[in-house]
Amino acid sequence: MADPRQLLVSEHDRPLIAPSILAADFARLGEECAAVFRAGADALHLDVMDGHFVPNLTMGPDLCRCLRAALPDACLDVHLMVTDPAGYVKPFADAGANHLTFHIEAVPAPESLAEAIRAEGMTAGLAINPPTDLAAIEPYLRHFDLILVMSVNPGFAGQSFIPEVLEKTRAIAPRLRPTQRLEMDGGINSRTAGACLEAGCDLLVAASAIFGAEAYDDAIRILREAPDDARRAD
């Protein structure tokens, strides 16, 4: 099997599922993360918020370092919702992150930061918020390993999916190489996952729909199999 830490840059024949630890029980975080991997998760999604780019404060490199030590083979997908992502590249690389995504709304000319992330041995992602026009990221698609289409306005877990972003997603999907990921994040659950996958996403993030579920394995399977259900409904 390929190194799980290279997961995001490999080709896949099934959608990948990344639980966001934002809805985990922080008092039992190590246990919670081990449990979602046992239940079939492909990567862990770490939502880093600085209280400035978004109105919430969450986690930083120290937490990433502890998760890396506890889960040496895990793919750690870090989503930076911060005003100055450049300042966090080295700290997260040193903390064992595999992947760093930052926002076009924070860095309007993003190519050199993608290079800086790769120079530190990580893969690089570019995120776009719901109100931001596709034109803002179009020139940069080929410079990134992953494009993240936000399906809520970032800041909090448990918000409702914004279906209008699917149009942007459909426009991006055919322009990506097979090794580039198209990730969606926010409000993804058993009712919305199918539409994301049909629009071309191959990596789904979910916080509440997984950590809020009784059985993590059922929750992950339902998200991954959503497109098959949609096909059967045709």
- The residue ranges that bind ligand DX5 (CB under 6 A) are 20, 22-23, 45, 47, 79, 152, 154-159, 185-188, 205-209
Q: Is 13 a catalytic residue?
A: no
Pick the binder of Zn ion from 79, 99, 181, 224 (CB under 5 A).
79
- Binding characters for Zn ion, 212-231, by CB under 5 A (x = yes): --------------------
- With respect to ligand DX5, which residue has the nearer C-beta, 117 or 206? 206
* Catalytic entry in 42, 47, 50, 77: 47
Q: How far is CA 27 from CA 30, 33, 44, 110, in A?
A: 9, 12, 17, 36
Q: How far is CA 234 from CA 74, 156, 228, 229, 230, in A?
A: 36, 34, 10, 9, 7
The angle subtended at Cα 188 by Cα 178 and Cα 71, nearest 5°, is 70
Q: Distance (Å, rounded) from C-alpha 114 to C-alpha 89?
A: 10
- With respect to Zn ion, which residue has the nearer C-beta, 145 or 185? 185
- With respect to ligand DX5, which residue has the nearer C-beta, 190 or 198? 190
Q: Is 42 a catalytic residue?
A: no
Amino acid at residue number 173: A
- The answer to the question of residue 202 lying near Zn ion (CB under 5 A) is no
Residues 196, 169 contacting (CB under 8 angstroms):
yes
Q: Distance (Å, rounded) from C-alpha 9 to C-alpha 49?
A: 25
* Catalytic entry in 50, 145, 185, 202: 185
- Report in angstroms how near the CB of residue 111 gets to ligand DX5 at its nearest: 23
- With respect to ligand DX5, which residue has the nearer C-beta, 44 or 206? 206
- The answer to the question of residue 185 lying near Zn ion (CB under 5 A) is yes
182, interface contact from Zn ion, ligand DX5, none, CB < 5-8 Å by kind: none
Residue ranges with strand state E in 41-160: 44-49, 76-81, 99-103, 123-128, 146-150
188, interface contact from ligand DX5, Zn ion, none, CB < 5-8 Å by kind: ligand DX5
186, interface contact from ligand DX5, Zn ion, none, CB < 5-8 Å by kind: ligand DX5
Q: How far is CA 74 from CA 79, 109, 127, in A?
A: 16, 31, 22
Amino acid at residue number 180: Q
Enumerate the active-site residues.
47, 185
